[in-house]
Amino acid sequence: MRIVKSIILVTSLSFFISCNSPQTYLNKAVDIIKANSINKNSIDWVQFRKDVLEKGKEAENIKETYPAIQYALRQLGDHHSFFMTPEQCKTFNDPNLPLPKVSSELIDNRIGYIKIPGFMGNRNERAYKFAQQIQDKIRELDKNNIQYWIVDLGDDTGGNMWPMLTGLGPILGDGIAGYFANNDSVYISWGYSKGTVFCDKNQLMKLNNPYKLKNDIKKLAIIISNHTCSSGEATAVSFIGIKNSCFIGEPSYGNSTSNAGFKLSDGAMIFLTVSKFADRNKKTYGVPINPDIVDYNGTAKKTAIEWINKK
């Protein structure tokens, strides 16, 4: 399911709901949605609650309220909020899931190419291994004194943005890389610094032996596609505004928004869209990210090499 693949874990904050009945459970879920949805100011909440409760009126137990909650999230119109059952949550957080493979390549003995897949899971040991895998690939390529880089996010379908940013930190560089922007014009920064990825003033991940590039980057190409989604788009947004960079490929999927997780009493979770991504210059998205050079032919890598080689 595409939406499940595009999870972004902006926060580990969980909200526990106590309940005495299916209707209480459902009402509490609506309370959370009403208080936190990015579209909270444009919805008739009296009618919204009425419709959701009508959908769940026959529920005789908590599990039977799930379709009504899924219905509620669809009615928000943000195209990113979703619901996970307790069983799905356990699978999502399974530390034994195979680690996604990061691929890399030295091109023409002077261009470092690294391809980042999506990553599902929390900030656990597996996430650190994924971030370290990325930096290890960068370290190996940089033995060749690389000055030109291609970061391929074309198949980054999302998941958890933090290990992606932590791993790509040497290429991304230190400092604020982007923001979460809500409808109240509040901007919360994210970025990378010396092996640490941060959100606002909070350290979210840190590698013990972070790598630093040997050389300044002369040209940086970022590949995106319609498969670049959610936290893949957050990663892409983080590179917008970097000097001597160019985005190549197709417009991204368009889920350039952030979700926060709200845990219910039975272990189910609502992943609710609460803000939009903004780049380091505070340009807000929530829509597809458009490339500087459009390539719909599946040849974005070749086009990136040509752009780098162009004087």
Q: What pLDDT score does 256 carry? A: 96
What pLDDT band is residue 121 in, cutting at 50, 70 and 90? Answer: confident
Q: Which residues of 197-236 are buried (b: 16+ CB within 10 A; e: fewer)?
A: bbbeeeebbebeebbebeeebebbbbbbbebbbbbbbbbb
Taking the C-alpha atoms of residue 93 and residue 95, their distance in angstroms, rounded to an integer, is 6
Q: Which two tokens stand for residue 273?
A: 């869209």
The predicted pLDDT at position 117 comes to 98
Q: How much is the pLDDT for 38?
A: 94
Domain range annotation of the chain: 2-92
CB 126 within 8 A of CB 112: no
Query: Which band of pLDDT confidence, cut at 50, 70 and 90, is reported for residue 123?
Result: low
Write the pLDDT tens digit of every residue in 172-223.
999 999 999 987 789 999 999 999 999 998 999 999 999 999 999 999 999 9
pTM of the model: 0.89
Query: What is the distance between the alpha carbons of residues 275 and 283, in angstroms, rounded to a whole number?
Result: 13
- Looking at every residue in the chain, the average pLDDT score rounds to 92
The Cα-based distances of 121 to 7, 40, 97 in angstroms read 9, 28, 9
SS3 180: strand
Residue pair 99/129 in contact (Cβ under 8 Å)? The answer is yes
Burial 141-173, CB ≥16 within 10 A → b, else e: bbeeebbbbbbbbbbbbbbbbbbbbbbbbbbbb
Tens-digit pLDDT profile for residues 140-183: 999 999 999 999 999 999 999 999 999 999 999 999 999 999 87
Class of domain 2-92: alpha beta
The confidence score (pLDDT) of residue 296 equals 93
